[in-house]
Amino acid sequence: DQQVKQNSPSLSVQEGRISILNCDYTNSMFDYFLWYKKYPAEGPTFLISISSIKDKNEDGRFTVFLNKSAKHLSLHIVPSQPGDSAVYFCAARTMEYGNKLVFGAGTILRVKS
Amino acid sequence: DAGVTQSPTHLIKTRGQHVTLRCSPISGHKSVSWYQQVLGQGPQFIFQYYEKEERGRGNFPDRFSARQFPNYSSELNVNALLLGDSALYLCASSPPGVYTQYFGPGTRLTVL
């Protein structure tokens, strides 16, 4: 039961351009959404989050947009840098079964210089 | 400040054996969660502990158990290991009242 889906396994972007990573969810009980970045042999690193009562949150080069009616969120990275190359996971929080995060399968981002 | 630490980094076991993984949360964080990540998938929730009490359990068999100690560190135990238990086991901590979870580097478990 994939409640959080990242339908693009990979994305390739030129340095300096915008990277847009997408995520869809099905559970209307999700109330908080997060993006994590993961390098090989490391744990996920928290990037940015958004509450379900907002539609946008910005932190430097990273902006997350939430469209509740479409059950869709996206992460925009502007401008993209080669160091952004990593696996990006979308996660959603629910109080069902405790303070649990439900993750998507991830999107591999490659930023070409 | 030190982040979440996990030990050991890597572990190789054979089928049927038992394993204990350890996690120390960020100072001041009272909640610890465990996740399993297999190749090509996102992390899957196993357990959450807060103030030494289990607050959540994912869809994992009873072979998986955990506990949290008075200093908020935690152990994940897996009995009767199967080949399918081979994965990266991640520990995450969060401070009181905050939804964001901060992850450690993980323990890579290989079951032969």
d(CA A41, CA A103): 18
Interface of A with B (CB under 8 A): 4, 32, 34, 36, 41-46, 49, 89, 91, 93, 97-106
Share in percent of chain A as helix, strand, coil (round to 5):
5, 55, 40
Burial call B19-58: b when 16+ CB within 10 Å, e when fewer: bebebbbbeebebbbbbbbeeeebbbbbbbbbeeeebbbb
Contact B48 A41 (CB under 8 A): no
Query: In B1-112, which residue ranges form alpha helices assigned H by DSSP?
Result: none
Q: Between β-strands B74-78 and B64-68, what pairing exists: parallel, antiparallel or unpaired?
A: antiparallel
B33 interaction partners in chain A (CB closer than 8 Å): 99-101
- B90 to chain A, any CB pair closer than 8 A? The answer is yes
Closest residue of chain A to B39, computed from CA coordinates = A105
One pLDDT digit (tens) per residue for chain B, 112 residues: 689 999 999 999 999 999 999 999 999 999 999 999 998 899 999 999 999 999 989 999 999 999 999 999 999 999 999 999 999 999 999 998 889 999 999 999 999 9
Contact A103 B102 (CB under 8 A): no
B85 φ, ψ (degrees, to nearest 5): -80, -5
